[in-house]
Amino acid sequence: MKLSKSTLKHKVNESDFRMDSVLHFEIRPTAEQEKQLFHTFDLCRKLYNYALDQRIRSYKETGKGLTYRDQQNMLPAFKEANPEYKAVQSQVLQDVLRRLDRAFVNFFEKRAGYPRFKDKLRFRSITIPQSDVRRNFGKEGYIYIPKIGHIKLNAHQAFDPSKVKIINVKFQNGKWYTNLTVETDSKPPVSDIQLAVGIDMGLFQIAVTSDGEQYENPRWITKSEKRLKKLQRRLSQKHKGSQNRQKAKHQLQKLHDHISNQRKDYLHKISHRLVQKYVLICIEDLQVKGMMKNHRLAKSIANASWNRLANYLEYKSRRFGKTLVKVNPKNTSQKCSNCRQIVKKNLSERIHQCPYCHVVLDRDLNAAINILQAGLNMIA
């Protein structure tokens, strides 16, 4: 939708033009470095499980839980009693405790379930929370990981090492990667809005725009469901602790990673196209967690990944100086986009037919137009 100029004026500070982005690069450790990394992962996993058990026991015995600060203060004594942990940098161990603390925060704020003990396949990354340009990027073409050494870095795009704040090392799909959190400059918001769009996120199509564009839902999990069930059955038949069980777990994890990568790639492409095309983007402020309580729709909602798409649109809008507006989703599907009357319909009704003004539209297109109008009203 085209708008007249100067529809939106922004008040911005210099800090509004700075944001954190994550660069994803492949790294190629030697056989010896790979062995050290796996050993580090295993030690960090055991620390995570030990710290979780410590919190559980503390609560049972005293009625009080432990905080991150409590456990951080206990870390030197733990390292003294377990000298093998001298092979892991202190900051990496501290981040393991932070990871557990975040898991408890998410649980208490009802964003996730109770923290679980980790097996080898559920702990596949470590984080160095403070990067130093001379230490970590002093050798061109390499990244230095403390206690591991210089690892070959396959950087497919240029970046400023001095802007790197956090370094994460991850093993996924049989390959090694580093995620570099860097501070980047985003473009100032465009004050003269020419193109605006409303986006309705749904289950039949992942996204429908107010201009009538539809982005299909590939249903990645549904397509792989037979394969997932087969691998899950195969895993359940293996003896616990056996080598064959570990192989079956690895195959199952590999398929989950493949589905996740498919989803991320598709959502990145959609969000990039929308941010490049429009200046103002209006979406619904969906409370996905509450919607997931509907067990009939939970799997479909998870498969559609509305939150992930919204997050991608949000950070890309900031990066390219576009504006993202989140509107109240109330009645966006029920209201007629033409006459504004409420026209009740259930989820199975895919066509909006207004008995008042007789307009006939696709249900999702009608909702997208309402979302755009709500967004324009918010910034007017």
Please tell me the distance from the alpha carbon of residue 309 to that of residue 326, in angstroms, as a whole number: 13
Residue pair 339/360 in contact by the 8 Å Cβ criterion: no
Cβ within 8 Å of residue 214, ≥6 positions away: 205, 207, 208, 364
Q: Burial of 197 by CB count in 10 Å (0-12 exposed, 13-18 middle, 19+ buried)?
A: buried
Max distance between CA atoms of the chain, in angstroms, equals 77
Contact at 8 Å (CB) between 208 and 369? Answer: no
Say how far apart CA 56 and CA 71 lie, in whole Å. 13
Catalytic residue among 284, 285, 349, 362: 284
Q: Which of 53, 101, 200, 349 is catalytic?
A: 200
Residue 122: helix, strand or coil by DSSP? helix
Q: Is 140 a catalytic residue?
A: no
Which residues, in sequence order, are CB contacts of 292 under 8 Å at separation 6+?
298, 301, 302
Any catalytic annotation for residue 200? yes
Catalytic residue among 70, 101, 285, 364: 364
Alpha-carbon distance of 208 to 11, in angstroms, equals 30
Residue 119 bears catalytic tag: no
Q: Which of 331, 359, 326, 350 is nearest to 202 (CA)?
A: 350
Going from the C-alpha of 219 to that of each of 223, 246, 364, the distances in angstroms are 6, 28, 18
Cβ contacts of residue 94 below 8 Å, gap of 6+? 72, 75, 129
Coil, strand, or helix at residue 220? Answer: helix
Residue indicated by tokens 């109008």: 373
Element (H, E) at 181: strand 175-185
Q: Which sequence positions are flagged as catalytic?
A: 200, 284, 364
